[in-house]
Amino acid sequence: MNYWLVKTEPETYGWDDLVREGEGRWDGVRNYQARNFMKEMMPGDIALVYHSGKTREIVGEAKVVTTPYPDPTAEEPDTWFAVNLKALKRWENPVDLAFIKAHPELSGMKLVTNSRLSVMPVSEAHFILLQQQSQKK
DNA sequence: GCCAACGTTGGC
DNA sequence: GCCAACGTTGGC
């Protein structure tokens, strides 16, 4: 079981859209590095959902429910991939980018060191820390 | 709105 | 294969 972080602009497709759809297709990734990570996803993996743009924060956890499959929205569907995600839990207290940057434990996250990557692995240690933070008042 | 960082494209 | 030009992402 692996942990991931996926980024999205909530104006385009965000947490609320995922909740509304129940199971949503995470598509549109057009970056090779992100694509390569996505291809490693397995059903049962957990993906943190991060909103970029006006607010910059991890808003909740979703579960990967399919293996990666060709992205139907791509012109070359053999090149790009999608997975389906199911919203698991909205975080009571979203963890924002400023917090992550300010904490030495977390400041090595790819979210900080490679700010343009839209799909990235998250270590279990980081995941646990982030989850604990989201449960604090 | 600006700009830094990064990725891609295309001329040579 | 190099690199300048350009486009995009995303934080500020």
* Protein residue with the closest CA to the C1' atom of nucleotide B8: A31
Q: Could you check: is the Cβ of residue A90 within 7 Å of any atom of nucleic acid strand C?
A: no
A49-97 pLDDT tens trace: 999 999 999 999 999 999 999 999 988 878 999 999 999 999 999 999 9
Query: Which residues 101 to 130 of A reach strand B, CB within 7 A?
Result: 114-116
Whole-number distance in Å between A77 CA and B9 C1': 21
The predicted pLDDT at position A136 comes to 84
* pTM over 0.75, yes/no: yes
Q: Tokens 């199971």 identify what position? A: A23
What's the confidence (pLDDT) of residue A137?
A: 64
Protein-covered nucleotides on strand B (Cβ within 7 A): 5-8
Give the torsion sign (CA, A22, A41, A5, A114): negative
